[in-house]
């Protein structure tokens, strides 16, 4: 007896959601690169945020739909085994098992979430590039910080955002207290760096801006790490 | 579905969007001829950092109490 699994239409969504995440990331990266190297403002920051939000939210219903679809090898085996256990009609050689008609697999807990790797990869891409898009708004046009004060304000806001993101992740049990303590140490250093940069800038604006750029590099890396951490753990 | 993961993604996205809107709106206004960024703005931002930092420290304390 041959048993063939026929993919249900919704199963195809796993590919769509994965590619959706990759598409969002690719578009963001392309816009940032074009804006960076050509001074061509493709979209305003508000438009970028809006597009990211809309596309990002599309992943959510797709994930809901995928909730109970068996995808892993173990789940497929369970479905096939259940189907094989059913009586076979005389003379029937091939049985087509549709997933939608198959016995309901065991409840899927968050830890056994089908497609979690693909979807969380998509979420990671979304969060990562959303963060980069937000931090890269200056590259996209309207409100690029120019003065030391403006850059210091951006850096300070970034410190604040990193702290809030870390708190959110910690409360959601996505990171541990050790990680959070490291973030506190790094952001304390960043805050001190901002203060030093402002002091240095009073005498040497270029040196002050250079220090602020270094601080922003650290904060951007930290924010990226947190976004990935939250989406993949 | 793991609601925590999705809620978390939405929460973080909204946090970022809100912050970006405020921040770049303020800088854009300054560059458009509005009031420039002053020490008062930076002090206000630093105060917000202090509040967020304390919130994180409280969360760390709670997490440690729960063995996380």
DSSP secondary structure of A115-183? THHHHHHHHHHHHHHHHHHHHTHHHHSTT---SHHHHHHHHHHHHHHHHHHHHHHHHTTSS-HHHHHHH
* Lowest pLDDT segment from A68-72, A142-146, B8-12: A68-72
Q: What's the gap in Å between the CA of A210 and the closest CA on chain B?
A: 18
Kindly calculate the radius of gyration of chain A based on its CA atoms and give it in whole angstroms.
24
Is the CB of A49 inside 8 Å of chain B's CB atoms? yes
Rounded to 5 degrees, φ, ψ at A5 are: -80, 125
Of residues A144 and A194, more confidently modeled: A194
Burial code (b: 16+ CB inside 10 Å, e: under 16) for A4-27 equals ebeeeebbebbeebbebbeebbeb
Considering only CB atoms, A174 lies closest to which of B6, B8, B19, namely: B8
Tell me, what's the pLDDT at A139? 46
- Asked if residue B41 has pLDDT above 60, the reply is yes
pLDDT class of A14 with cuts at 50, 70, 90: low
Flag if A146 and B15 touch (Cβ within 8 Å).
no
Flag if A63 and B1 touch (Cβ within 8 Å).
yes
* Lowest pLDDT segment from A54-58, A180-184, B34-38: A54-58
Flag if B55 and A167 touch (Cβ within 8 Å).
yes
A219: CB partners within 8 A, 6+ apart: A155, A158, A159, A162, A187, A190
Of residues A62 and A173, more confidently modeled: A173
Distances (CA, A) of A137 to A28, A162, A221, B25, B27: 11, 17, 16, 11, 12
Flag if B8 and A184 touch (Cβ within 8 Å).
no
Flag if B53 and A154 touch (Cβ within 8 Å).
no
Considering only CB atoms, A153 lies closest to which of B5, B42, B56, namely: B42
pLDDT class of A171 with cuts at 50, 70, 90: confident
Q: What's the gap in Å between the CA of B13 and the closest CA on chain A?
A: 7
pLDDT class of A173 with cuts at 50, 70, 90: confident
- Asked if residue A177 has pLDDT above 90, the reply is yes
Averaged pLDDT score across all residues of chain B: 81
Considering only CB atoms, A161 lies closest to which of B1, B15, B26, namely: B15
Q: What is the pLDDT of residues A97-145, one digit of tens each?
A: 555 555 555 555 555 444 444 455 555 555 555 555 555 554 444 457 8
DSSP structural state of residue A99: G
Angle (CA) A54 A145 A183, round 5°:
70
- Asked if residue B18 has pLDDT above 60, the reply is yes
Best CA proximity match to B14, nearest among A170, A231, A63, A57:
A57
Of residues A202 and A46, more confidently modeled: A202
Best CA proximity match to A161, nearest among A223, A70, A79, A203:
A223
Averaged pLDDT score across all residues of chain A: 69
Contacts of A60 in chain B (CB under 8 A): 6, 10
Flag if A191 and B68 touch (Cβ within 8 Å).
no
Tell me, what's the pLDDT at A191? 94
Which residue is closest to A186 within chain B, CA to CA?
B53
Contacts of B18 in chain A (CB under 8 A): none
The interaxial angle of helices A116-135 and B3-31, nearest 10 deg, is 10
Flag if A176 and B52 touch (Cβ within 8 Å).
no
For residues A59 and A123, the answer to whether their CB atoms sit within 8 Å is: yes
Alpha-carbon dihedral sign for residues B7, B9, B13, B15: positive
Angle (CA) A45 A215 B11, round 5°:
45
Most confident of A60-74, A87-101, A179-193, A217-231: A179-193
Per the listing, tokens 């760390």 go with B60
Q: What is the pLDDT of residues A20-69, one digit of tens each?
A: 667 777 777 676 666 655 555 556 656 666 666 666 666 655 555 555 55
């Amino acid at each position: 007896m041959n048993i063939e699994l026929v993919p249900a239409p919704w199963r195809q969504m796993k590919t769509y959601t994965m590619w959706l995440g990759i598409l969002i990331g690719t578009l963001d990266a392309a816009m940032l690169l074009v804006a960076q190297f050509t001074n061509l403002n493709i979209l305003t920051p508000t438009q970028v945020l809006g597009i990211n939000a809309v596309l990002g939210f599309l992943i959510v219903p797709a994930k809901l739909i995928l909730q109970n679809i068996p995808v892993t090898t173990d789940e497929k085996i369970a479905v096939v085994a259940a189907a094989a256990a059913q009586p076979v009609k005389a003379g029937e050689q091939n049985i087509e098992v549709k997933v939608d008609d198959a016995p309901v697999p065991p409840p899927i807990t968050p830890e056994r979430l089908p497609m979690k790797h693909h979807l969380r990869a998509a979420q990671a891409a979304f969060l990562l590039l959303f963060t980069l898009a937000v931090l890269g708004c200056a590259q996209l046009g309207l409100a690029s910080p120019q003065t030391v004060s403006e850059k210091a304000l951006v850096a300070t806001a970034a410190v604040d955002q990193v702290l809030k993101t870390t708190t959110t992740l910690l409360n959601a049990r996505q990171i541990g207290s050790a990680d959070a303590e490291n973030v506190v140490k790094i952001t304390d250093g960043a805050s001190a760096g901002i203060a030093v940069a402002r002091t240095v800038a009073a005498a040497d604006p270029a040196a002050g801006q250079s220090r602020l750029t270094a601080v922003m590099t650290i904060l951007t890396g930290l924010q990226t790490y947190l976004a990935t951490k939250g989406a993949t753990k | 579905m793991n609601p925590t993961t999705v809620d978390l993604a939405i929460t973080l996205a909204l946090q970022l969007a809100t912050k970006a809107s405020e921040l770049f709106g303020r800088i854009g206004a300054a560059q458009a001829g509005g009031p420039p960024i002053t020490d008062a703005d930076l002090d206000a931002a630093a105060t917000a950092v202090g509040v967020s930092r304390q919130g994180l420290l409280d969360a760390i304390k709670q997490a440690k109490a729960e063995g996380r």
